[in-house]
Amino acid sequence: PPGRKVLIVYAHQEPKSFNGSLKRVAVEELSKQGCSVTVSDLYAMQFEPRATRNDIVGCLHNSEEFNYGVETLKAYKRGGLSSDLIEEQKKVQEADLMIFQFPLYWFSMPAIMKGWMDRVLVQGFAHEFPNCYDSGLLKNKLALFSFTTGGSKEMYAKGSINGDIRYLLWPMQHGIMHFCGVKVLAPHICFAPEYVSEEKRKDMLIAWAQRLKTLWKEEPIICSPEWYFK
């Protein structure tokens, strides 16, 4: 609906890729609805995935023994995080919905996107004990993992070799988003787009646009072990 803010965190090297098309479809459909859409195009930004001392501007709290978690918490509190992180945190802060668009790499997100999680969602900003899970600091936001796979839907069925696709969503949806208080919408999974016909790929894009039309009416999943492991 008009006024809603969406952040798309996008990790693909190639604009012409199917992931690129899924991203474009989302930008178009959500803009048409009057949402304000921001894209963090991680490869184009050459986003830094490594969590290092460079993320802290100025002096360290303890320069004798570098502790990334402690240092980024302290730096966050005094406004001393590096500018790329402050920039991303602003986008997160403003967003009602975050869409993560990526190809599945090794049962997870590509390292460049994992680096976004590691570096942007610092303690103090996204969570701070005891403010985690349902009282996480990013509560009242939504997240949606939209990704493509190499394997087919059958290969990701319960009892088949890759196991239920939901098994691998646990660290991302529960361990990251739920931990920060974010409510999780059902994932959007395009299975094996590289191995289907051009027509099937078009159908997949249409289905994504279709889903986005009524996205704001969706209820979040109940993010507990039952959803993942039944």
The answer to whether residue 34 forms part of the interface with its own copies (CB under 8 A) is no
The answer to whether residue 68 forms part of the interface with its own copies (CB under 8 A) is yes
65, 198, 199, 219: which one contacts its own copies (CB under 8 A)? 65
Element housing 72 (H / E): helix 68-77
- Residue closer to its own copies by CB (options 80, 110) is 110
The answer to whether residue 131 forms part of the interface with its own copies (CB under 8 A) is no
16, 94, 180 from 223: Cα distances, Å:
34, 23, 12
The answer to whether residue 115 forms part of the interface with its own copies (CB under 8 A) is yes
The answer to whether 55 and 72 have CB atoms below 8 angstroms apart is yes
- Residue closer to its own copies by CB (options 109, 212) is 109
Question: Mask: binding to its own copies, 135-174, rule CB under 8 A, as x and -?
Answer: ---------------x----------xxx---xx-xxx-x
Window of 2-10, 60-68, 198-206, 210-218 that interacts with its own copies by CB under 8 A: 60-68
- Parallel, antiparallel or unpaired: strands 188-190 and 142-148: parallel
Q: Provide the sign of the torsion angle of the four alpha carbons 61, 66, 70, 76, taken in this order.
A: positive
Burial call 29-49: b when 16+ CB within 10 Å, e when fewer: bbeebebebbbbbbeeeebbe
The answer to whether 80 and 58 have CB atoms below 8 angstroms apart is yes
The answer to whether residue 227 forms part of the interface with its own copies (CB under 8 A) is no
- Residue closer to its own copies by CB (options 53, 78) is 53
The answer to whether residue 175 forms part of the interface with its own copies (CB under 8 A) is yes
3, 30, 106, 170 from 208: Cα distances, Å:
21, 11, 23, 22
CB of 186 to its own copies, least distance (A): 19
CB of 159 to its own copies, least distance (A): 8
The answer to whether 62 and 136 have CB atoms below 8 angstroms apart is no
> How many whole angstroms separate alpha carbon 8 and alpha carbon 16?
17
Q: Which positions touch its own copies (CB under 8 A)? A: 13-14, 16-17, 43, 46, 49-53, 64-69, 105-108, 110-112, 114-115, 117-119, 121, 133, 150, 161-163, 167-168, 170-172, 174-176, 179, 194, 225, 228-229
